[in-house]
Amino acid sequence: MIVPVKKVKLAVLNDYEEALLKNLQRYGLLMLIPLEEREGELPEDELLARTEKSLRLVREYQSKAERNQEEHVVAYEEFMRVDESRKELLMKIENSGARIEALRGEIKAKEDAISFYRPWRNLPVPGSRLGRSRYSVARIGFIKPYDAKSFAQAVENIGAGHMIFDRSPDGLAVAVVCYLEDDEALLNILKTFDFHEITLPEKARTPAEVISRIEEELSALRESLRRTEAELQEYTESSKELELLSDQLKTQIELKQAPVMKMPRAAYLEGWVREDRVDALKRAITEVTDIYDLDIADPAPEEEPPTVVENKKFVEPFESITEMYSLPHPDETDPNPALSFWYLFIFGMMMGDAGYGFIISLATFLFLKIKKPKDQSARLLKVFFYAGIATILWGAAYGSYFGFTVKPNLIEPMNDPLKMLIVSLAVGGLHIITGILIKAYDDIRRGRYFDALFDQFSWVLILAGLGMLFVPGLDAVGGALAVTGAAIILVTGGRKSKGVFGKLFGGLGGLYNITGYLSDILSYSRILALSLSTAIIGWVMNMLAGMFTGSAFGYIIGAVIFIVGHLFNLVMGILSAYVHDLRLQFIEFFNRFYQGGGYPFEPLSLKLQYVDKVKIGNLQGGINHE
Amino acid sequence: MNDGLLIAIIGAALAAILPGIGSAIGVQMGGRAASGVMSEKPELFVRLLILQALPGTQGIYGFLTAVILINRLGLLGGSAPALTTGQGWLFFGACMPITIVGLLSALYQARTAVSAIHMTAKQPKASTSGMIMTAVVETYAILALLAGLLLIWNIPF
């Protein structure tokens, strides 16, 4: 159902502006209309960014058990209280975070140094002994590892000494030493082996000594990192405080950015309020001040009010499906009640296995109970919970339980595909007729009776009549209905065209739309295809599993095939049914009547991202708001 | 062994092979695009997985056709039916719609899926529209599947 919305113009004395806005935000009644663009950074923006960063840091050290805590509910007064201790906590966490970052940087540098020295740890001399001395030259460096043997040979041939150490990512670590006069010959040899020389920055000690010193420093650093991380671990308990601070800041930012026109003595604001909450709005204002000027009116024709959709508990989750397409326009009929029925009906037909339906419903039910997801994911899961029940019902109609057929059943897609095809197309026809009827209802509501009769009911007659042609006994009636419908369109289809020619032949053009209707109805043959796919793959899995039965080992293999096979079929079936059912709703169904293009009603309210619920308290006068 | 049966079985095999190859290539294209996006936005995993899996159904349709033909021929009971060469060609022909349309539509659907994956990377909320647009391509594979199945069920022998 779409709730009508009223336009609000409100002025109060400047002194009461802040208190009024706070109160409006508390109860979330009024959606403000932006008056002018506001720019500039608020001090809260920076604090919010810092809070979010610290929260992410704390989360890294939080165990899963700590994260899945019970609902976070706070009282309104507690939610709005500015607590300096939260800012202190934030600073402490930031300090620990900065220390951890610095320590990690140092550790990384030390580790890099160790891996630099590691290839040379067997070099028996300190770095100062490398290079030219009075009689000899000593060098260390890397060559390509596969040349080791020929390298040793070549170096020995000119009488130079060498040592071969470990392989490293840079190549094979080697040291060479020779007399000064052999240096040129050695350099030539080294060039052929792609030798690239390394110098050691630490001259006084051997590489092995350097490594052990760095390792000592490293273990000290690791120890202090561990201590700092332990410190941070203690703060994870107070992550709720940070979450509260974050939501609080977002709420303050929203309040500060509220579009209010300031005049010398008064503040003026415009907005939208739900028709059924006008009284609550008045009470929320009088709680703050008695001096105000309030004007409530229906939206003017050129104004675009926001859309408020409100449905019963059962239909509500299906709003998420419509929202994927587009939010309804505020003055059209809410498609959700019809959509919820048809979505489930067609989903059940497509999956069509009672066993699978049971698993879908059970899994979504348990997930909803245990994990308690919020918002969109909760709505999607509820849709699937109901879809599972629809699948159980259709599965019983098909007599299909995990791919096994149990009689008695109404219809069996596998053994009677032609009948199933006809049922699928008939369901499609009814689905489309529902769409046309909703359009007709909208036309009548707006006083366009001729449109409803000529453009909508005529098509209902044609589609219903064509359907009846296939029912023995009703075919004569059906033919008459279809011809009547076609005649109406032929005569009236051109009534809106200009000129005699348009009026005469507009009807033919209108009748040509029959191709569109027929191809839309044929599109419902996918119901048969998908129900067959689930049924046959399930049957094949049972057959494969059955082939192994006989020995104990065979039963185990059979059970594995049964479980894995049906799980695969279930997942692919859900995917196909979900997507193709959506397609039928969006393209075939919505095409007939749905306009969309609304924008959501987002009142000035508390911004809750982490906090699950704020106890708002009762508005004076007794309306209970949660 | 008779020629008719041979021809019919080649048809069933092609129905299982070609759309399967098409789906494998299609899913692979989607998977590569999705992995690329996930390196930046791992939280989109489920949405991307759905888009990736969409071109996978043609392989299932081909498999379905093959199984139904095998069942119709009574091979599952372990006996080889006697088919004339003409009947063999009839069954072969019945396998062709899903064999050809399944292969090609999987490839084209994969291209749409890849575009939808890229769109989802930029606008995660648009992923449902992407799913629908990708699913529209599959319509013709479904029609080919149904045409083939109706033929298999109704060819006299």
The chain-wide mean pLDDT, for chain A, equals 86
Tell me, yes or no, if A379 comes closer than 8 A to chain B by beta carbon. Answer: no
Classify the complex by whether its ipTM is higher than 0.90, answering yes or no: no
Task: Look at the block and give the residue holding tokens 């009971």.
Answer: B77
Q: What is the pLDDT of residue A181?
A: 80
Kindly determine whether residue B150 and residue A575, on different chains, have CB atoms separated by under 8 Å: no
d(CA A362, CA A358) in angstroms, rounded, equals 6
Q: How many CB atoms lie within 10 A of CB A381?
A: 17
Q: What are the chain A neighbours of B150 within 8 Å (beta carbons)?
A: 417-418
d(CA A149, CA A16) in angstroms, rounded, equals 91
Q: Which amino acid is at A260?
A: V
> Quick check: helix, strand or coil at residue A273?
strand
**Statement: residue A264 has pLDDT above 70:** yes
DSSP A11-41: EEEGGGHHHHHHHHHHHT-EEEPP-S---S-
Q: Do A365 and A385 meet the contact criterion of CB atoms below 8 Å apart?
A: yes
- Which of A523, A532, A586 is facing B64, going by the closest CB pair? A532
Fold for the domain defined by B3-154: Four Helix Bundle (Hemerythrin (Met), subunit A) (1.20.120)
Q: What is the pLDDT of residue A40?
A: 66
Q: What is the pLDDT of residues A456-513, one digit of tens each?
A: 899 999 999 988 888 888 888 888 999 999 988 888 877 877 777 777 777 887 888 8
| Residue of A255 and A584 predicted with greater confidence | A584
Q: Which long-range contacts (CB under 8 A, 24 or more apart) does A150-153 make?
A: A151/A193
Kindly determine whether residue B153 and residue A525, on different chains, have CB atoms separated by under 8 Å: no
**Statement: residue A67 has pLDDT above 80:** no
d(CA A518, CA A551) in angstroms, rounded, equals 55
Q: What is the pLDDT of residues A573-613, one digit of tens each?
A: 999 999 899 989 998 999 899 988 889 998 888 888 888 88
- Which of B131, B132, B142 is facing A525, going by the closest CB pair? B142
Nearest chain A Cα distance for residue B7, angstroms? 23
d(CA A300, CA A305) in angstroms, rounded, equals 9
Q: What percent of chain A stands above pLDDT 90? A: 26
Kindly determine whether residue A586 and residue B132, on different chains, have CB atoms separated by under 8 Å: yes
Kindly determine whether residue A579 and residue B131, on different chains, have CB atoms separated by under 8 Å: yes
**Statement: residue A379 has pLDDT above 70:** yes
Q: What are the chain A neighbours of B143 within 8 Å (beta carbons)?
A: 522, 525
Domain boundaries, chain B: 3-154
Query: What does DSSP assign to residue A124?
Result: -
Q: What are the chain B neighbours of A421 within 8 Å (beta carbons)?
A: 146
Q: Do B114 and B29 meet the contact criterion of CB atoms below 8 Å apart?
A: yes
**Statement: residue A569 has pLDDT above 80:** yes
d(CA A111, CA A229) in angstroms, rounded, equals 20
Q: What is the pLDDT of residue A626?
A: 39
Kindly determine whether residue A586 and residue B76, on different chains, have CB atoms separated by under 8 Å: no
The nearest alpha carbon in chain A to B47 belongs to: A575
Q: Which helix (H) or strand (E) holds A164?
A: strand A161-168
Kindly determine whether residue B139 and residue A572, on different chains, have CB atoms separated by under 8 Å: no
Bridging pattern class, strands A161-168 and A136-143: unpaired
Q: To the nearest 10°, report the CA torsion of A301, A304, A305, A310.
A: 100
The nearest alpha carbon in chain B to A569 belongs to: B60
Tokens matching residue A162: 């060498």
d(CA A133, CA A342) in angstroms, rounded, equals 92
Q: What are the chain A neighbours of B67 within 8 Å (beta carbons)?
A: 536, 540
**Statement: residue A59 has pLDDT above 70:** yes
State how far the alpha carbon of A125 is from the alpha carbons of A197, A203, A207, A312, in Å: 16, 10, 8, 84
DSSP A576-618: HHHHHHHHIIIIIIHHHH----B-B---S----SS--EEE--P
The nearest alpha carbon in chain B to A577 belongs to: B135
Nearest chain A Cα distance for residue B143, angstroms? 8
**Statement: residue A622 has pLDDT above 50:** no
Interior/surface letters A302-335, b for 16+ CB within 10 angstroms, e for the rest: eeebbbbbebeeebebbbbbbbbbbbbbbebbbb
Tokens matching residue A253: 């930012």
Nearest chain A Cα distance for residue B63, angstroms? 9
Q: How confident is the model at residue A54 (pLDDT cuts 50, 70, 90)?
A: confident
Task: Look at the block and give the residue holding tokens 């039916």.
Answer: B81
Judge if the upstream peptide bond of residue A201 is cis by omega within 30 degrees of 0: no
Task: Look at the block and give the residue holding tokens 């008064």.
Answer: A266
d(CA A610, CA A255) in angstroms, rounded, equals 18
Q: What is the pLDDT of residue A16?
A: 84
Q: Which long-range contacts (CB under 8 A, 24 or more apart) does B113-116 make?
A: B113/B26, B113/B29, B113/B30, B113/B33, B113/B51, B113/B52, B113/B54, B113/B55, B114/B29, B114/B30, B114/B33, B116/B51
Q: How confident is the model at residue A121 (pLDDT cuts 50, 70, 90)?
A: confident
Q: To the nearest 10°, report the CA torsion of A384, A388, A390, A395.
A: 150
Instruction: At A141, give phi and psi (nearest 5°).
Output: 175, -170
Q: What is the pLDDT of residues A413-426, one digit of tens each?
A: 888 888 898 999 99
**Closest listed residue to residue A273, CA positions, set A265, A282, A264:** A282
Kindly determine whether residue B61 and residue A533, on different chains, have CB atoms separated by under 8 Å: yes
d(CA A532, CA A415) in angstroms, rounded, equals 10
Q: How many CB atoms lie within 10 A of CB A135?
A: 9
Q: What is the pLDDT of residues B41-69, one digit of tens each?
A: 888 888 888 899 899 889 989 998 998 89
Tokens matching residue A584: 């039928």
Tokens matching residue A68: 């899945």
Nearest chain A Cα distance for residue B151, angstroms? 11
| Residue of B35 and A550 predicted with greater confidence | B35
Q: What is the pLDDT of residue A375?
A: 78
Kindly determine whether residue A583 and residue B61, on different chains, have CB atoms separated by under 8 Å: no
- Which of B53, B131, B146 is facing A528, going by the closest CB pair? B146
Q: What is the pLDDT of residue A69?
A: 63
Q: What is the pLDDT of residue A625?
A: 42
**Closest listed residue to residue A413, CA positions, set A321, A326, A295, A535:** A535
Nearest chain A Cα distance for residue B135, angstroms? 7
Q: How confident is the model at residue B25 (pLDDT cuts 50, 70, 90)?
A: very high
Q: What is the mean pLDDT of residues A446-454?
A: 87
Q: How confident is the model at residue A64 (pLDDT cuts 50, 70, 90)?
A: low
Q: Which residues contact A465 (CB under 8 A, 6 or more apart)?
A: A477, A478, A479, A480, A481, A482, A483, A484, A485
Kindly determine whether residue B128 and residue A582, on different chains, have CB atoms separated by under 8 Å: yes
Q: What is the pLDDT of residue A444?
A: 92
d(CA A337, CA A475) in angstroms, rounded, equals 32
Query: What does DSSP assign to residue A75?
Result: E
Nearest chain B Cα distance for residue A100, angstroms? 25
Count the alpha carbons within 13 Å of A365 in the hemisphere toward its beta carbon. 10
Q: What is the mean pLDDT of residues A373-386?
A: 89
Q: What is the mean pLDDT of residues A331-359?
A: 94
Kindly determine whether residue A537 and residue B64, on different chains, have CB atoms separated by under 8 Å: yes
d(CA B2, CA A407) in angstroms, rounded, equals 38
